[in-house]
């Protein structure tokens, strides 16, 4: 089976829905962009705000501890307020319903990062985003998660496709790490002095990362 180039798929969707005779349409489609954090959103917003009326949906019940969650939420708002977007970007904070995450993670606590627990976490956050997009009349929804080299873009887009069919809201396929997207996101993050976390977000990823750091320090 041929590997799907999700960056190219996104570019084609933009051409079909956001451009007219090669020019950006006067009335832009609306897009709900699920964001995990400001650094990951940086390059995504720089691109997407050219073609969509974007609302950032910060829904991350996985993040531990609460202080970390609040820090990332505030940094997301700061970036939106300070970065010159091509079109106005709104911010919506979803519920910090940590119980939904821990219920989802039951039995998967010891699964290494990048495995089944992460896939279920993708689905949890994307499902809530799709529901919000449907309830509030958005044309599209998507997520910043595919910009990370540590996230499985194929799995994210498969989940997005499934939710598009279930909720009837179009999913914007993506692989934002393409075309040096991740590199550009780090450059924007550095330019704006952003807080960059050292672990993905949940208590399990934090423990794994802390153990890796401790092991590395012990061997040096």
Taking only the tens place, the pLDDT of each residue in 30-54 is: 999 999 999 999 999 999 999 999 9
Whether the model pTM is above 0.95: yes
- Average pLDDT estimate for 103-117: 97
Domain, as residue range, for 86? 6-219
Which contacts (CB < 8 Å, 24+ apart) does range 12-20 have? 13/170, 13/172, 13/173, 14/51, 17/139, 17/140, 18/51, 18/52, 19/51
Determine, yes or no, domain membership for 192: yes
Q: How much is the pLDDT for 69?
A: 98
1: pLDDT strictly greater than 90: no
Determine, yes or no, domain membership for 68: yes
- Average pLDDT estimate for 155-174: 98
Tokens 């950006």 locate to 24
Q: How many structural domains compose the chain?
A: 1
DSSP letter, residue 112: P
Q: How much is the pLDDT for 4?
A: 96
- What CATH number is given to the structural domain containing 59? 3.40.50.620
Taking only the tens place, the pLDDT of each residue in 125-152 is: 999 999 999 999 999 999 999 999 999 9
Determine, yes or no, domain membership for 202: yes
Percent of the chain with pLDDT over 70: 99
Determine, yes or no, domain membership for 1: no
Determine, yes or no, domain membership for 154: yes
Q: pLDDT grade, residue 220 (50/70/90)?
A: confident
Distance CA 45, CA 87 (A): 10
Determine, yes or no, domain membership for 152: yes
Determine, yes or no, domain membership for 110: yes
């Amino acid at each position: 089976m041929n590997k799907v180039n999700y960056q190219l798929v996104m570019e084609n969707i933009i051409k079909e829905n956001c451009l007219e005779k090669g020019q950006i349409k006067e009335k832009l489609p609306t897009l709900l962009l699920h964001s995990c954090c400001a650094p990951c959103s940086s390059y995504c917003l720089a691109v997407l705000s050219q073609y969509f009326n974007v609302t950032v949906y910060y829904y991350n019940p996985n993040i531990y501890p609460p202080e970390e969650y609040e820090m990332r939420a505030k940094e997301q708002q700061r970036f939106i307020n300070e970065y010159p977007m091509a079109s106005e970007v709104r911010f919506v904070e979803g519920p910090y319903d940590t119980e939904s995450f821990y219920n989802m993670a039951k039995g998967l606590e010891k699964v290494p990062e990048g495995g089944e627990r992460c896939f279920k976490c993708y689905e949890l956050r994307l499902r809530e985003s799709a529901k919000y997009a449907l309830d509030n009349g958005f044309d599209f929804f998507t997520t910043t998660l595919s910009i990370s080299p540590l996230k499985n873009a194929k799995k994210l887009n498969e989940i997005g496709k499934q939710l598009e069919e279930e909720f009837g809201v179009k999913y914007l396929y993506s692989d934002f790490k393409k075309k040096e997207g991740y590199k550009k996101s780090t450059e924007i993050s550095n330019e704006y002095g952003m807080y960059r976390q050292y672990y993905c977000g949940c208590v399990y990823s934090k423990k794994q990362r802390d153990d890796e750091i401790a092991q590395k320090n012990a061997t040096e």
